[in-house]
A and B are shown apart, each in its own frame.
Chain A
Amino acid sequence: MTAGEPQSIDTIVIGAGHAGLAASYCLTERSIDHLVIERGEVANSWRNERWDSLTLLTPNWQSRLPGFSYSGDDPDGYMNMREVVEFIDAYARHCRLPVQTGTTVTSLKQNADGYHVMTDRGEWQCRSVVIASGACNVPSIPRVAEAIPADIQQLTSWEYRNPGQLEDGGVIVVGASATGLQLAEEIHRSGRPVTIASGEHVRLPRVYRGRDIQWWMDATGILDEGLDEIDDLNRARHLPSPQLVGSRQHQILDLNTMSSLGIKLVGRLMGVQNGTVQFSGSLRNVCALADLKMNRLLKTIDEWAEQSPDSSQFEPPERFERTTVDEEPCLALNLDESGIHTIVWATGYRPDYSWLDVPVLDRKGMIRHDGGVADSPGMYVLGMPFLRQRKSSFIHGAEDDARFVTQHLAAYLQSR
């Protein structure tokens, strides 16, 4: 592309995932002139950056965006990635949202008139910008990975698609989020011996008292909890995803499931020395913390259920077995001697802001923002965990967030 005059527009939305499109819908409602710029295709990360067997952690009835919701015949099922892409694609088409795909932002700069957006297919001058480029652009891998011997295959959950990619032999899955547990189970079923290393994690039963846990979280208002209602926002924003899987059987997936399958449970991976990986001795406590927190949540649900006019419809309360931890969990594994050929890092992701030339990043590389209003006038963020509410981490959380942010944005444009 040749350099020319930038096109002028009120608002640029960066990213055509569920969050960017929800913003576009709300901007359209307000007749704000805008364009959604997408590096790949609509729902690109869902399309190209997820493993094959992944399904949403939320049931279909919960899949909704402003002006659009699931209309299929399986409300209690969970979408696979093909269905998620179709859902988001249909949203963009149905609402005729202005999206320019195949356009990668190479820099975003602030100037007297707002923001200058440079892409590989033209440039724009806008008065405001909504950054909805995703929370999971690059895998986060602990530094200790650098000390893993070169003959061990290393793969992140971002690159992982299916067990066929892995060498034969033992596998350590690092991380006990939904991702870590789902991959550990799938790799175990492929016939490879699996060890799972678990730090702090979030344990949740898929189904409780006859209802999906997401139904309870929704009904009790827990998903609507906002910024002012929690003690430690930083912690809430960085929680690993809850140990859930969206399967037809509505199966419970937790560390006890891992143990019962024969997957070896060890503490957080803390060090590597001479080909031996070291695990934390805190496994028992991280499991105790997760059990206690789950029970606290179930208690909240039970208290709510008791007050509910529908209380007779619910199955009786139950409590799940404590997480079983070996008497003496393994603290060190020599990779060679124990036949480990692969390490899969399921240690989370971070956003990629390498193109962002506005000084709004904190020392951890995250955009400083107050509930989606970035620390730079006219800049907004969407699609981040606990942006404004607990449900911000889910697709259906985008609606409230997008409505708030676009309202703020509209007022900002009017005030100038």
Chain B
Amino acid sequence: MSEQTTNVDNGVNVEALLGAREALTEAPEAAQFKWRATCTWVNGTHASSSVEGFYGLGEEQSHRKEFKFDSDHPEIFASADNGATPIEFVLVGLAGCLTAGIASVAQNRDIQLKSVTATLEAGMDIAGILGIDSDVRNGFDGVNVHFDIDADASSEDIEALVAQSQKRSAVFDIITNPTNCTVTVN
């Protein structure tokens, strides 16, 4: 039972999050969300994706505005490099998810953050995607995330923040555990 102190502010509304948790425990249907994205091929390996609407709390929801993302491949792949590669978006997703988690957990534990920087690196043998060697998987052979965190807390408490954010992270779960993926076409 941490006392609510007023001087810790990481910009996270913990009361709202805890309230939502309580409300959704009572109304599990409202906790069912659908996340959506659309993507249109532009040219070559360049594609343009956007997100705006999603479903949750029992009804259609929307972002404040539409967000657009260009994905492409770098020039060494003989591409025009109009955007990040899709796999880099995966790293962006993981970093964003863990960082948001750290801020939320820190707020809940009354820890003032001063700076949080994540550096990510994922190895990949492209012999997989190029079809050179069928024993090599297409995806990452591992992901390393390194956090540099400056906060008013002991190194052990900071370590615990990072561990808890992994425990509660959707993208961490998506990367570490298998997920059924169904692709259809018209």
Contacts and interface: CB of A to CB of B under 8 A. Distances in A.
Contacts of B173: 282
Contact of B163 (A228, A280, A281, A289): A289
B33 to A, nearest CB: 18
Interface string B1-23: 10000000000000000000000
Contacts of B175: 281
Given A285-B166, A289-B163, A292-B160, A229 B1 contact: yes
Contacts of B163: 285, 288-289, 292
A278 interface: yes
Given A292-B156, A292-B159, A282 B166 contact: yes
A328 B176 contact: no
Contacts of A270: 177-178
Contacts of B160: 289, 292, 296
Interface residues of A, number: 21
A295 interface: yes
A280 B176 CA distance: 5
Contact of A278 (B142, B164, B178): B178
A188 to B, nearest CB: 26
B68 interface: no
B167 A285 contact: yes
A347 B163 CA distance: 23
B55 interface: no
B44 interface: no
Residues of B contacting A: mostly: helix
B4 to A, nearest CB: 13
Contacts of A200: 167
Contacts of A278: 177-178
A280 B177 contact: yes
A288 B145 CA distance: 15
Contacts of B172: 282, 285
Nearest to B175: A281
Given A289-B163, A292-B163, A282 B177 contact: yes
Contacts of A280: 176-177
Interface in B115-173: 142, 156, 159-160, 163-164, 166-167, 172-173
Interface residues of B, number: 16
Contacts of A271: 177-178
A267 B177 CA distance: 10
B98 to A, nearest CB: 11
B142 A328 contact: yes
Interface string A259-273: 000000001001101
A356 to B, nearest CB: 22
A289 B161 CA distance: 10
B176 A282 contact: yes
A231 interface: yes
B164 A231 contact: no
A94 interface: no
Contact of B156 (A228, A282, A295): A295
Contacts of A289: 160, 163-164, 167
Nearest to A231: B1
B139 to A, nearest CB: 11
A274 to B, nearest CB: 12
A75 B159 CA distance: 39
A363 interface: yes
A292 B176 CA distance: 21
Contacts of A295: 156
Contacts of A363: 28
Contacts of A228: 1
A137 B172 CA distance: 34
A318 to B, nearest CB: 16
B158 to A, nearest CB: 11
19 contacts: A200-B167, A228-B1, A231-B1, A271-B177, A273-B178, A278-B177, A280-B176, A280-B177, A281-B177, A282-B166, A282-B177, A285-B166, A285-B172, A288-B163, A289-B164, A292-B156, A292-B160, A296-B160, A328-B142
Interface of B: 1, 28, 142, 156, 159-160, 163-164, 166-167, 172-173, 175-178
Interface of A: 200, 228-229, 231, 267, 270-271, 273, 278, 280-282, 285-286, 288-289, 292, 295-296, 328, 363
The 8 closest A-B pairs by CB, nearest first: A281-B176, A271-B178, A285-B166, A282-B176, A270-B177, A288-B163, A289-B163, A292-B160
